[in-house]
Amino acid sequence: MRADDARLFDVLQTRWGYTSFRPLQHEAIAAILGKQDSVVVLPTGGGKSLCYQLPAVLMPGLAVVVSPLISLMKDQVDALTEIGIPAAAVHSALLPSEKQRIAEDIRAARLKLLYVAPERLVTERMLTFLRQQTVSFIAIDEAHCISAWGHDFRPEYRRMGELREQFPGVGVHAFTATATERVRQDIAGQLHLQSAEFHVGSFDRPNLHYRVERRSDKDQQIRDVLQRHAGDAGIIYCISRKEVDALAEALQSAGVKAVPYHAGLPDEVRHRNQDAFLNEQADVVVATVAFGMGIDKSNVRFVVHTGAPKSLEHYQQETGRAGRDGLDSECCLLYGGNDFQIWRKMMQELTGDAAAHADHNLQLMERYCIATGCRHRALVEHFGQSYPGESCAACDVCLNEQEYVPDALIVAQKILSCVVRVRESFGAEYVALVLSGSRDQRILDNGHDQLSTYGLLKEHGKSAIREWIEQLCAQDHLAREGEYRILKIAPAGRDVLRGATTPRLLKPAAKKQSRPAPAKKNFTLGMDAGLFEVLRKLRRELAEERGVPPFVVFGDVTLQDLASRRPTSPAGFRETHGVGDQKARQYAEAFTQAIARYCASNGIPADVAVADDAPPTAGLESFSTTSKSAARQAAAALFREGRSLEDVMQQIGRARSTVTQYLVEFLSEEGHLSPEPWLSEERFVAVAAAVEVLGPGPLKPIFDRLGGAVSYDDIRVAVACLRNRSESGVGASGG
């Protein structure tokens, strides 16, 4: 190890309590230390802030960090202060005396980082003041805001391009979580970066479980998610303020600790509600997309969209607020066709390239909603990266939670034939009216009630036909052209008409049975769940005393490691993941005493040895392909011992859906003919009888035939064993 690397790792360990970097952090830090301009794109939760905080500690002078939101500045300053790094933020909420104190600290070289909003930084007074100081480098967070091609363009960011001229010789570094190649190049150009290095991490968030559902019974669908995550922190996004207020009130009436958040609320109410969420006084925040950019809360376990966002970039960033600590989290998107009509209406004021770009982004979002392929793959490929593997085992598609039309080829041919019969001269709404047998006056005037395709799909209804048209467009069998989005047969559609290609069409949305609630927590190997809850309570109390959010004291990952190691001495406490020197001095006594009391009261061993080569979940790097493979291997070993799903979930720290997928893979690879002890013989026989009638295809018909008495997870397990029996020539009865 080189001397400079040794210094980096020493600071990482003593200040932050980490023993290794996450992907690309080391490279991004090296660029700053080498005074080489850079653009860094790391997913939310990927550790962007460390990339500029650590070099600020090592370099002489003051690092200037551009940040758009006061809440984000405050959280980061609190977190840095907690580990003994002097930092401050200048914003409009400060008193004149506080601003004066910060200025004095800067002149006396007592600060290492200064956070400032973009519009304040470019004032002549601030620029003059900073030019008189030793500025080590400038870091621009949320840098996608500088690009008109980005998803959150802010005009005030444009002036960041002046910094190169104002601070010659000072490195400028752009950081963002979501940026396509076009946006990355635009960021570098707008900032006038010189020979910039680009460090782009994977856009995949493998710990996020994506579900996309057509809105059918919104209230029930939301209740399903809340049931799966009772007591967990979550964000529910709505398109309109009116919907935010109504939903927050409904949740409160149902006993959920929920608060609303949108720009129409008075400032003091908005700030109070945000603080309640950050400080664990509220579990759920119901918000417009005005909420979240500055949220550093690491343990958000679910994000729900009650309507489709206006772009995949927005969706990636908003869902990225879940699972920042690397633990399994759920992202549920409820969409309806009117979502896109609402967005297009809101975009009417846009013109030229901006209008075309916004509409293109909306079309991509629409395609994502109705897609029949892996969600993780779709998001990664949207950002120009390839996705390894066939199944993510963490989305509704790969977990076979969707239900497909059995005669999709015939349905598609009827739709495409109708487009041909109306001479490819009308849009989706009109074609759906023809196929549903509508007596709309336009159809009668055009004589299209006489077409052979008129009413061909009337038993399904217009809304279902519209969905199928959108799905055919998403699969490139149909194309839209011109201002009026006229339907045309695409080359792939002609293959469908000839019967050479069969598309995948989803069945129309219907009211769904509630999914069974998975394990409440994603516990790590050997962790005591009761102790974890004791430590959560202690963390909240200490945070209240210090006036900071609980996650600033410690993240859930650190508490899980403490609940596994159960240290009762300061030395053992210091060995815990995420505990640096400063936090060890501050918190060792309180936590070790609580651990000792718990262990003595419950008769469990304290000071447990944990292998250094198997640290707890430490962020995104622990969810790499290697780590996921290790989790599968660990699960397989436990299954061989006959351990239950609940035991395996607790031991390897994965959600029920993930562990069920591991069990299905285990049963298939080992050729098990019987699902016991994971599924009773009675349930297995019931599933086998349903499969005998319906076949082993989509799970929804099997689930419905059994009246919801057997869960989807149990059906997957049974089907895996039935498949093994079929391949080995053994009947369902075992004979």
Q: Identify whether residues 190 and 215 lie together within a single domain.
A: no
Q: Which of 62, 73, 54, 68 is nearest to 16 (CA)?
A: 54
| Number of domains making up the chain | 5
Q: Identify whether residues 121 and 237 lie together within a single domain.
A: no
Q: Identify whether residues 244 and 320 lie together within a single domain.
A: yes
Q: Identify whether residues 631 and 679 lie together within a single domain.
A: yes
* DSSP summary character for residue 523: P
Whether 555 and 617 have beta carbons less than 8 Å apart is answered as no
What's the rounded Cα separation, in Å, for the pair 417 and 165?
Answer: 62
CB-side neighbour CA atoms (13 Å) of 132:
11
What's the rounded Cα separation, in Å, for the pair 252 and 389?
Answer: 42
In a domain, 338, yes or no: yes
In a domain, 368, yes or no: yes
pLDDT at residue number 614: 42
Q: Identify whether residues 100 and 15 lie together within a single domain.
A: yes
Last residue of a domain, one of 165, 182, 200: 200
In a domain, 733, yes or no: no
pLDDT at residue number 626: 35
Tokens of 472: 């055919």
Q: Identify whether residues 193 and 215 lie together within a single domain.
A: no
Whether 667 and 721 have beta carbons less than 8 Å apart is answered as yes
Q: Identify whether residues 51 and 102 lie together within a single domain.
A: yes
The CB density around residue 710, as the number of other CB atoms within 10 Å, is 22
In a domain, 403, yes or no: no
Q: What is the mean pLDDT of each run of 10 residues along the chain (735 residues)?
A: 72 90 90 94 85 96 90 88 95 88 95 93 93 96 78 72 90 88 89 92 90 90 92 92 95 95 89 89 88 72 94 90 88 88 84 84 89 89 83 86 87 96 94 95 95 94 89 89 88 93 80 43 63 93 92 91 92 92 94 94 83 42 40 81 83 70 83 88 91 76 84 85 80 51
Q: Which of 161, 141, 165 is nearest to 52 (CA)?
A: 141
Q: Identify whether residues 313 and 373 lie together within a single domain.
A: yes
Last residue of a domain, one of 382, 416, 445: 382
CB within 8 Å of 723: residues ≥ 6 apart: 668, 696
pLDDT at residue number 1: 42
Q: Identify whether residues 244 and 368 lie together within a single domain.
A: yes
Mapping DSSP to helix (H, G, I), strand (E, B) and coil, where does residue 410 land? Answer: helix
370: containing domain:
208-382
What one-character-per-residue DSSP string does 323-368 give? -TTSS-EEEEEEE-HHHHHHHHHHTTT--HHHHHHHHHHHHHHHHH
Q: Identify whether residues 482 and 569 lie together within a single domain.
A: no
Pairing of strands 478-481, 486-489: antiparallel
One-letter amino acid at 37 equals D
What's the rounded Cα separation, in Å, for the pair 59 and 294?
Answer: 26
Whether 592 and 570 have beta carbons less than 8 Å apart is answered as yes
Query: What's the CATH number where 557 sits?
Result: 1.10.150.80
How is the chain split among helix, strand and coil, in percent rounded to 5?
50, 10, 40
pLDDT at residue number 521: 42
Cis peptide bond upstream of 388, omega within 30: no
In a domain, 36, yes or no: yes
CB within 8 Å of 670: residues ≥ 6 apart: none
Q: Where do we find the tokens 């009888």?
A: 689
Q: Which of 524, 525, 541, 521 is nearest to 594 (CA)?
A: 541
Q: Identify whether residues 187 and 214 lie together within a single domain.
A: no
Whether 699 and 716 have beta carbons less than 8 Å apart is answered as yes
In a domain, 514, yes or no: no
Q: Identify whether residues 212 and 319 lie together within a single domain.
A: yes
Dihedral through CA 184, CA 189, CA 195, CA 200, nearest 10? -10
pLDDT at residue number 69: 79
What's the rounded Cα separation, in Å, for the pair 149 and 353?
Answer: 10
Q: How far is CA 195 from CA 158, 167, 535, in A?
A: 20, 17, 48
| Alpha-carbon dihedral sign for residues 263, 265, 271, 276 | negative
pLDDT tens per residue, range 212-239: 998 888 999 999 999 989 889 999 999 8
In a domain, 474, yes or no: yes
In a domain, 522, yes or no: no
